[in-house]
Amino acid sequence: RKEVEQDPGPFNVPEGATVAFNCTYSNSASQSFFWYRQDCRKEPKLLMSVYSSGNEDGRFTAQLNRASQYISLLIRDSKLSDSATYLCVVNGGGNNDMRFGAGTRLTVKP
């Protein structure tokens, strides 16, 4: 089993749609959680950290469920510019322990 697993995708949605990505992790001792966005042929960039209580940043909402060991990302009112690959990242607690999901590709169409 992979340490961090994401929806395989790809997700193709129309503009304005709401789309949700899920991610599960295997290390129950994991301490911090992130969603990164990666555009084609570019580096990953931090989209948002995920806090235990859940957090929102504009159209983006992240949720953490420690009991079930999953993280979600909800994007409301999708824009063409949201097209990218979204990476789920989980930190087990050590300096070398950031684990990356393989990513979920999102394409938002007009």
Partner 1 sequence: DVKVTQSSRYLVKRTGEKVFLECVQDMDHENMFWYRQDPGLGLRLIYFSYDVKMKEKGDIPEGYSVSREKKERFSLILESASTNQTSMYLCASSGQANNYYGYTFGSGTRLTVV
Binding site for partner 1 (CB under 8 A): 31-32, 34, 36, 41-46, 49, 87, 89, 91, 93-98, 100-103
1 vs 41, beta carbon nearer partner 1: 41
41 vs 110, beta carbon nearer partner 1: 41
Between the CA of residue 93 and those of 27, 28, 57, 96, 103, what are the distances in Å? Answer: 10, 11, 25, 8, 21
From the CB of 15, what's the least distance to partner 1, in Å? 27
Q: Residues 6 or more apart from 28 whose CB is under 8 A from it?
A: 66, 69
From the CB of 19, what's the least distance to partner 1, in Å? 20
From the CB of 76, what's the least distance to partner 1, in Å? 23
64 vs 78, beta carbon nearer partner 1: 64
6 vs 63, beta carbon nearer partner 1: 6
From the CB of 41, what's the least distance to partner 1, in Å? 7
